[in-house]
Amino acid sequence: MHPQHISIQDYQYELPESRIALHPLKKRDDSKLLIYKNGKIRETHFRNIVDSLPEQTLMLFNNTKVINARILFKKESGGSIEIFCLEPRNHVQSYHTAMEQVQGATWKCFVGNAAKWKNEILKKEIEIEGKNITLFAELLQKEGDAYIIKFSWQPPEIHFAAIIENAGLVPLPPYIKRKTELEDKSRYQTIFARNQGSVAAPTASLHFTTSIVSAFPRKKIKSSFVTLHVGAGTFKPVKSNTLETHEMHAEYLDVDRQTIEELLAAPGDIAVAGTTSLRTLETLYWLGVKAADDLHTSELELHQWEVYEAPLVNTKISARQSLQSLLQWMVLHNKNNLFTQTQLLIAPGYQFRLATILITNFHQPQSTLLLLVAAAVGPVWKDLYQYALDHNFRFLSYGDANLIFIDTKINNDD
């Protein structure tokens, strides 16, 4: 069955509000870990995860960094306007370039109380390293359910990265119904965070500590990194009865040649920390398939349903052949980094090409993230979630985790 015809009602479960983790635990790796392998469920604590990973696993992490995407402005009349920065509006060659802009920057944003924002230019006073900075926001136009906002500031030589870091607040998910607190600044950020651009954390990696990573060598586990900047669309519910009319959010990814070479050299399992790393990894396979078909194509990107339809669905290209073709394409086009967008929707019916192990949190009912889990384990996802509910696991971004050994033999048409 084509995923377009999946009924979202089949991915409903009762999640009491009391089970949503509103705060992180005192220690990252104190969280519980549900392990699913060969049809069996067991549990431990996340600090013991290395014991359950196979030797010579390649661990893939998303090293994106969450930006302080929520900026609050006060109108001269006293009303409040909240601007939630989503992504750079203009075509960018990299997020680094977008964050290093001076003088001004144009972003696609959500706007709270937009009806009360007429033609005035909003103003906010901030301080950066002892200097007084004035930030301005001008509403240019509406675009879908978002708005195009032009930011500018005085003095103009400050980078946008510094502006948003000092003017904004941590963008906690909408289901964490409380005000941002000081601990969120560090705890809603992974220990791998390097490249600014996400408006939501890759939450599976929130559980990892330097202590866990330092234990990798005893099982010959290696780490590799990709960047996928998580958009607010990750929280977008599926509102239609089937997936056919649901538009999957597109997200920017940035992967260098070294990472692809490490994937090619992986001697065993490839474990992904989080759904964002998984989407990136599987996208790499499909972009390699496209490159193999036409090495001279100037752009590589992946749209929502391509992998379920001809010609991609019929491909016989192996994972190794795909990654080799992707490297050839990068060399031919003189690219050290692959920077593009992916709209890949992983749902039951999807056949995994590179990932064999998934580490992820517990996700909202009727969400595309839950559909991804169902693609990895089949209908047994209900047993995993019921076990978690029955055994006091904590849910969503600050909640507990799963270690899932992907079942490549399931019939996803069931």
Per-residue model confidence as pLDDT tens digits over 105-145 = 999 999 999 999 988 999 999 999 999 999 999 999 999 88
The pLDDT assigned to 413 comes to 46
Query: For 53, left (φ over 0), alpha (ψ -120 to 50), or beta?
Result: beta
Domains assigned to the chain = 3-65+187-405 (3.40.1780.10), 69-169 (2.40.10)
B/e letters for 12-47, b = 16+ CB within 10 Å, e = fewer, are eeebeeebbbbebbeebbebbbbbbeeeebeeeebb
Three-state helix/strand/coil letters over the chain: CCHHHCEHHHHCCCCCHHHECCCCCCCHHHCEEEEEECCEEEEEEHHHHHHHCCCCCEEEEECEEECCCEEEEECCCCCEEEEEEEEECCCCCCHHHHHCCCCEEEEEEEEECHHHCCCCCEEEEEEECCEEEEEEEEEEEEECCEEEEEEEEECCCCCHHHHHHHHCECCCCCCCCCCCCCCHHHHCCCCCCCEEEECCCCHHHHHCCHHHHHCHHHHCCEEEEEEECCCHHHHCCCCCCEHHHCCCCCEEEEEEHHHHHHHHHCCCCEEEECHHHHHHHHHHHHHHHHHHHCCCCCCCCECCCHHHCCCHHHCCCCHHHHHHHHHHHHHHCCCCEEEEEECCCCCCCCCCCCCCEEEEECCCCCCHHHHHHHHHHHHHHHHHHHHHHHCCCCECCCCCEEEEECCCCCCCCC
- Cα(221)–Cα(234) distance, integer angstroms: 29
Q: Which tokens sit at 343? A: 């709209």
What gap in Å lies between CA 321 and CA 302, rounded to an integer?
A: 18
- Return the closest-CA partner of residue 239 out of 397, 52, 365, 61: 365
CA atoms within 13 Å, Cβ hemisphere of 158: 23
* Per-residue confidence (pLDDT) for residue 137, from 0 to 100: 97
Q: What is the pTM of this model?
A: 0.95
Give the Cα separation of 274 and 205 in Å (integer). 7
Residue 359: Cβ within 10 Å count: 26
Angle at 401 between CA 196 and CA 199, to 5 degrees: 20
Contact present, 292 and 321 (Cβ < 8 Å): yes
Q: Partners of 62 in the beta sheet? A: 226
Residue 83, phi then psi, degrees to nearest 5: -110, 125
Consecutive 10-residue runs of the chain (414 residues): their mean pLDDT?
A: 92 97 98 97 98 98 97 91 92 84 95 91 95 96 93 96 97 95 97 96 98 98 97 84 91 96 97 98 98 95 95 96 98 96 95 97 96 97 98 98 89 48
pLDDT at 15: 97
Asked whether 282 and 346 are in contact (CB, 8 A), the reply is: yes
Calpha distance 204→64 (Å, rounded): 13
Query: Which residue's structure tokens are 């699913």?
Result: 36
Q: What is the pLDDT of residue 119?
A: 83
Strand partners, 107: 88, 149
Query: Would you state the pLDDT for residue 411?
Result: 53
Rounded to whole angstroms, how far apart are CA atoms 36 and 406? 9
Q: What is the pLDDT of residues 397-407, one digit of tens each?
A: 999 999 999 98
- 292 φ/ψ angles, rounded to the nearest 5 degrees: -65, -35
292 close to 286: Cβ distance less than 8 angstroms: no
> How wide is the angle at C-alpha 230 spanned by C-alphas 226 and 232, nearest 5°?
175
